[in-house]
Amino acid sequence: MSVVVQKFGGSSVANAERVKAAARRAIRAKQAGKQVVVVVSARGDTTDDLIELAREISEHPPAREMDMLLATGEQISIALMAMAINELGEQAISFTGVQIGIRTDSTHTKARIREISTERMRQALDEGRIVIVAGFQGVDEKYDITTLGRGGSDTTAVALAAALKLASTKATLFSGDANNVRETVECEIYTDVDGIYSTDPRLVPEARKIDSISYDEMLELASMGAGVMHSRSIEFAKKYDVPIMVRSSFSDAEGTWIVPEAAWMKDVVVCGAAIAKDEVRIFLDSVPDQPGTSHRIFAAIAEKNIAVDMIAQSAGSGGKAAIGFTVLRNDLNLTLATLKPLADELGAIIRPAEDVSKVSIVGTGMRTHTGVAEKMFAALAAEAINIRMITTGDIKISVLVDRNDGGKALKAVHHAFGLQTPRLGAGVSGGSDTGFKDRPLLRGGDAAHDLAVATQRLSGMEDIVISGVQLNNDYGRITVSDLPDVPGNCSKVFQAVATSGIMVDTIVQNLTGPNRAELSFTVPRSDLRRALIRTQDVIREINPQGKAAGESDIAVLYVYGVGMRTHTGVARKMFGALAEKGINITMITTSEVCVSVVVESARGNDALDCLKKAFSV
Ligand code: ADP
Ligand code: ASP
Ligand code: MG
């Protein structure tokens, strides 16, 4: 029998009518022959209201008590939903996270799921009941209630789907008939929009609905600010191969499938854009450019469970490097308190933190198409928006701009890539050979078997999975120092490089002093000379004192996985392993699906070995 997990967000259960409508949807699925698990969020603004209640009592409430309070929102919803279903003549039973056995670690307010026991769910489903589960909450070893972080009900839903799938796969493994998986499991996310859009339609009304998007694209978009899905839910989806459909609870319109990457996606250069306005940029100057320095800095921050984003370490000069990165504004004080003693010891200077907006573009086709960065920077330059920092990942580019320029920057970028116009996978259906409009294959058999084996090794369901480490010895790097920090300069450099048809891989731009920026980027070594000449021509025009230098003796290492940024330990482990071997890191970029570092080419193979060992791949 197939199982569907349906998740209803806050607005979808905001009043009695909506609860009843959601109940009818669940019943329809049941009557269509499926076993149904319903996950609900707190109603409407309940979670915000609860946070406000706490604030009225205390500026800094204990995290344990905060979770105790916040979990009540979802408990109201499950009871009402079960009543609504019973009222409509079907049998339903509600469970809190504790009752259903969602075990988490003890990181209150952002706990991670360790395991989910499926027996109670299974039993209720087999008795013919619709199972209602409170989203967003779990329980730790001490039986203390935990919550998963804002927006976490999405993660509960996908995690339940993953757990059910895993349990059924294991059951068939024990029966010795691996090709006969008992059931398929899918997940539907019902919300107040009818799918994933090219960007938040509330911010850019002409945004276009996407029909189908890959796990990696959605993971990057969600973690770069697209609040429509909790990014950790996409980690579960990818790791356990759970297809998700995001759709409206107010209509029957087909929504957006979030699925494994398909061949046609490689031509989608940019599928979406996102903005995050709740980050601050921290900048460390005069950092000794020695092995182990980045490790010490990021280990100290990771120790406090603070997720760091947009790490940009500039190639140092005079034995000193500059490191810039962003953290959530909520984590600013803790980050500064953590850094202060370390900076004092290293002789590094912490510059005042800046309010920024982060604007990102994401697309699978970025891996193979040239000129993407150039187009983004040109769009920003045309609006006279200054780029404060740049980092790139495998399938995304992020820039920091002044907080007030954020909305304008998002619109400019969205428009530059024509994201409002129909394309394959977003309004245009290709021939049957592309297959993207079809329902995704619900995999059983061998694929499910492999999955069960792969995930067996995890001690907790939400543990990081590192899928591979790679070394690339074919790149060179260009570093432009002393670039005046004014709108349009980056655009000029990349326009020159792009018009020569040179593929730029990683880009890092970092402010190095007042109104001065340093820009580093990697290009294929065979194009290094050409790229350097083009860059030097441009620099001469911009700033006759500016310097552009090329290095051919670099090695680039990539660590691939899922949820690399939110698992604060990954960068720590990576930098730690390299530091232990005395390998100096001269450039860092991070994203949810890849962390990459540049080291000197002579140490490339050593670095590869030690990273493989560190991540057991
Ligand atoms: P729920 O309460 O159902 O979980 P959320 O408010 O968390 O709903 O998510 C839905 C909202 O996400 C939408 O109303 C929309 O404004 C916002 N959003 C942000 N980025 C996107 C995007 N790329 N596509 C669709 N919606 C988006
Ligand atoms: N109710 C929680 C929140 O508002 C969880 C969720 O809605 O996903 O963040
Ligand atoms: Mg949500």
Q: pLDDT value at position 117?
A: 94
Query: SS3 of 247, please?
Result: strand
Q: Is the CB of 213 under 6 A from ligand 1?
A: no
Q: Is the CB of 191 under 6 A from ligand 1?
A: yes
State the sign of the Cα–Cα–Cα–Cα dihedral 76, 77, 83, 86.
negative
How many structural domains is the chain composed of?
Answer: 2
Q: pLDDT value at position 285?
A: 86
Q: pLDDT value at position 265?
A: 93
Q: Is the CB of 227 under 6 A from ligand 1?
A: yes
- Phi, psi at residue 265, to the nearest 5°? -70, -20
Q: Is the CB of 205 under 6 A from ligand 1?
A: no
Whether 595 is in a domain gets the answer: yes
Centroid of ligand 2 to alpha carbon of 15 (angstroms)? 16
Give 583's Cβ-side CA count (13 Å radius).
Answer: 28
Whether 509 is in a domain gets the answer: yes
Q: Is the CB of 155 under 6 A from ligand 2?
A: no
Q: pLDDT value at position 317?
A: 66
Q: Where are the beta strands (DSSP E) in 27-149?
A: 35-40, 92-95, 102-104, 113-116, 130-134, 137-139, 145-147
Q: Is the CB of 292 under 6 A from ligand 2?
A: no
CA 141 to chain CA centroid, Å, is 28
Dmax over CA atoms of the chain, in Å, equals 79
pTM for the complete prediction? 0.92
Determine the atom of ligand 1 nearest the C-alpha atom of 191: 3
Q: pLDDT value at position 177?
A: 62
Determine the atom of ligand 2 nearest the C-alpha atom of 42: 1
Q: pLDDT value at position 581?
A: 92
Taking alpha carbons only, the member of 231, 228, 226, 196 closest to residue 213 is: 196
Q: pLDDT value at position 487?
A: 86
Whether 218 is in a domain gets the answer: no
Query: Which pairs with CB-CB distance under 8 Å and at least 24 residues apart come from 442-446?
Result: 442/2, 442/184, 442/185, 442/186, 442/243, 443/241, 444/179, 444/180, 444/181, 444/184, 445/178, 445/179, 445/180, 445/181, 446/178, 446/179
Centroid of ligand 2 to alpha carbon of 50 (angstroms)? 11
Element (H, E) at 335: helix 332-346
Q: Classify burial at 329, counting beta carbons within 10 Å of its beta carbon; exposed 0-12, middle 13-18, buried 19 or more.
A: middle
Whether 287 is in a domain gets the answer: yes
Q: Where are the beta strands (DSSP E) in 110-194?
A: 113-116, 130-134, 137-139, 145-147, 185-191
**Do 526 and 403 fall within a single domain?**
yes
Asked if 67 and 144 count as a contact pair (C-beta separation under 8 A), the reply is: yes
Determine the atom of ligand 2 nearest the C-alpha atom of 149: 9
Whether 96 is in a domain gets the answer: yes
The boundaries of the domain holding residue 332 are 272-420+469-615
DSSP assignment of 497-522:
HHHTTPPP--EEEEEEETTEEEEEEE
Q: Which of 121, 147, 162 is the last residue of a domain?
A: 162
Ligand 1: which residue has its CA nearest to atom 1? 9
Radius of gyration in angstroms for the set of CA atoms belonging to the chain, rounded to a whole number: 25
CA 264 to chain CA centroid, Å, is 22
Determine the atom of ligand 1 nearest the C-alpha atom of 189: 3
CATH of the domain at 363: 3.30.2130.10
What is the token pair recorded at 135? 């989203």
Asked if 78 and 96 count as a contact pair (C-beta separation under 8 A), the reply is: yes
**Do 383 and 504 fall within a single domain?**
yes
Centroid of ligand 1 to alpha carbon of 507 (angstroms)? 30
DSSP assignment of 407-433:
HHHHHHHHHHTTTTS-EETBEE---TT
From 43, 150, 188, 192, the mutation candidate for ligand 1 (largest count of ligand atoms within 8 A of CB) is 192
Element (H, E) at 490: helix 489-499
Residues 6+ apart with CB under 8 A from 584: 289, 290, 291, 599, 600
Whether 238 is in a domain gets the answer: no
Q: pLDDT value at position 446?
A: 54
Q: Are strands 212-214 and 256-259 parallel, antiparallel or unpaired?
A: parallel
Whether 462 is in a domain gets the answer: no
Q: pLDDT value at position 572?
A: 77
**Per-10-residue mean pLDDT for the chain, 617 residues long?**
95 97 98 97 98 96 97 98 98 98 95 95 97 98 97 97 88 64 85 97 98 95 95 92 95 94 93 95 88 85 84 72 88 94 93 92 92 92 91 91 96 98 90 50 52 65 86 94 85 87 86 79 94 93 87 93 79 85 85 88 96 91
CATH of the domain at 26: 3.40.1160.10
Q: Which of 162, 191, 223 is the last residue of a domain?
A: 162
Whether 511 is in a domain gets the answer: yes
Centroid of ligand 1 to alpha carbon of 36 (angstroms)? 24
**Do 151 and 284 fall within a single domain?**
no
Q: Which of 146, 162, 178 is the last residue of a domain?
A: 162
Looking at the DSSP bridge assignments, the partners of residue 321 are 287
Q: What letter represents residue 446's amino acid?
A: D
Taking alpha carbons only, the member of 286, 273, 284, 290 closest to residue 308 is: 284
Asked if 295 and 579 count as a contact pair (C-beta separation under 8 A), the reply is: yes
